[in-house]
Amino acid sequence: MDLQLTDEQQMAQKVAAEFAKNEVLPKAAEIDHNHRHPRELVARMGELGFMGIAIPEQYGGAGLDTVSYVLVLEEISRACASTGVILSVNNSLVCDPIYKFGNEEQKQKWLTPLAQGRLLGCFALSEPEAGSDAAAQKTIARPAKGPSGEDGFVINGVKNWITNGPVADVCVLFCMADPPGRDSGHKAITSFILPMNTPGVRTGPPDKKLGIRGSQSCQIFLDDVFLPKSLLLGEVGQGFKVAMATLDGGRIGIAAQALGIGRAAYEDAGRYALERKTFGQPIANHQSIQWKLADMATEIDAARLLTLRAATQKDRGVRHSKESAMAKLFASEVANRAAKEGVQIFGGNGFVEDFPAERHYRDAKITEIYEGTSEIQRLVIASAILKE
């Protein structure tokens, strides 16, 4: 694997690092404390071309690659994990499936403003009783005629834990086609582009979360929502394919987010270890602290290599389910270990909001859960290697 970054990739990383340091990091603690959606940072990311990094320029994107996306997302997540996941969802879970499965009209109408940051997207697959098991969802799309007699679907159901939901303009929505059939299972899943201002769409209050508090999520209620056939994303019954292809890329995004969180925990702990003194010397001189930092640095580097490998596979257009799952699994667990050790290095100061260690600790946990739990990643990996 060639690890030499291109000039474009290096430039994307540099711009993201400067933006993260100068504009995102100074607001990160306040965003977390106030559970505030960072609208002004999202607007800036749109100006910088970050909201559709790997989308071709003809559809409003930056026209870069998945490696550039990983580099940018790591830098931003290192500063603020909430801002990072807002970016990840819009890129991986909204722009990417519309680009891959949408028709030309849908790309022009929806993808272009999403990639430019003029609209913000969300992704609605999970439900109160259907998380890892997508085929257990109960949201139903029934064929129907619209007010003007046009063909379409009436949709009823509830979606859960929808990142960006309270502030999104557009949703990539998954439903069961009606009638699904006794044995159809995932073959009935169908995807739509849902404008969030459609009559019958209602959002619940923002979730009160352990971490990534600036990334707002909520339930979405769908009560007799009519969508014309023009808003079908792909074909009826193709939704499972859309979802799985999207999540393969989405897991690369969450791996990059986890990298940023782990790196923040490591770098903040390293600086603190050089400043904090016990027994007349910096705690960085104590072997117990050095070993923690050494393990953190090694694991973060290993996670980065796995993530870049998955990104490279995606850019080459080859199947990357296993590689994405490995990257997401390892990077998320590394982030949690690094955050835990970061709190330990900070000691009592790691347990209070005056220092960033406790925020990294809270933010890290979700990376082991959303876009496929660690348990699901292990199933994906095992399934792939047993077929090799």
Catalytic residues: 371
Nearest CA to 28 out of 337, 357, 283, 369 is that of 357
Residue 289 tokens read as: 């602290």
Please report the DSSP string for 132-145 in residue order: S-GGG---EEEEEE
Specify the residue for token string 């959002």. Answer: 203
Using alpha carbons, select from 109, 195, 101, 183 the residue that is nearest to residue 155: 195
Q: Are 107 and 48 in contact (CB under 8 A)?
A: no
Residue the block writes with tokens 């352990």: 210
Amino acid found at 211: G
Q: Give the tokens for residue 152.
A: 């379409």
- Among candidate residues 156, 187, 189, 165, the one with its CA nearest the CA of residue 175: 189
